[in-house]
Amino acid sequence: MPVTKRQREVLDFVGEFIERRGYAPSLEEIGRGLKLSSVSTVHKHLKNLEAKGMLSREWNRSRSLTVTPPPAKAGAVNIPLLGTIAAGAPIEAVTNPDSIAVPADLVGRRKAFALRVKGDSMIDEHICDGDVVIVEARDTARNGETVVALIDGHDATLKKFQRQGNCVKLIPANSAMDPIVVSDRELRIQGVVIGILRTY
């Protein structure tokens, strides 16, 4: 089932807390870590995540939260892992052909490839440094989609796409960074992000 942005933040926080410390966070620690206004707000998010099968806990024990592994996929397919993509300032596009197994139902019949993320310009979309993005190979995009963009034929970057007349604004999901504005002739869309793989 789909989760909201805030629910994803809670789930990520719990998983990372357990990974670092070996035990689950309390409601108060989740609230402080995510700057949530009250314990009841945290409780509501946890209940929703439990209802979606993503968290479990024992009601008679403190610190009993566990992240529920996703159900086994019907199968996996190998797609090319083509190196690194900048989630920050554009970097020279480098292709190091390799492959990575991804869930078959994520890709379907689409032509796809994977790139490892370098940088934190898409952090507010939960695309972090070291993540692997799964990309549908296509040369067009709709406003709001996260794209792999090639600028001037050699600088690759990962940003939100927004068309503005004959120009395109490539928007980071990080308030500390500025958008990149390029003309159509400077830009080539290489694909649109359809999924993310993360290893804790």
Question: Is 35 a residue whose pLDDT tops 60?
Answer: yes
161 φ, ψ (degrees, to nearest 5): -95, 135
Tens of pLDDT along 120-164?
889 888 888 889 999 999 999 999 999 999 998 888 899 999 998
Q: What angle do CA 13, 19, 21 make, to 5 degrees?
A: 95
For residue 40, give the H/E element and its range: helix 39-51
Residue listed under structure tokens 């503005």:
164
| CA 154 to mean position of chain CA atoms | 24
Mind listing the domains of the chain with CATH numbers?
5-62 (1.10.10.10), 78-197 (2.10.109.10)
For range 41-63, the mean pLDDT: 82
Instruction: Give CA–CA dist 73/161, Å, rounded.
Output: 31
pTM of the model as a whole:
0.59
pLDDT > 70 fraction of the chain, expressed in percent and rounded: 88
Specify the pLDDT at position 1.
Answer: 52
Answer yes or no: 62 catalytic: no
Catalytic entry in 47, 159, 169, 183: 159
Answer yes or no: 73 catalytic: no
Catalytic entry in 26, 37, 121, 175: 121
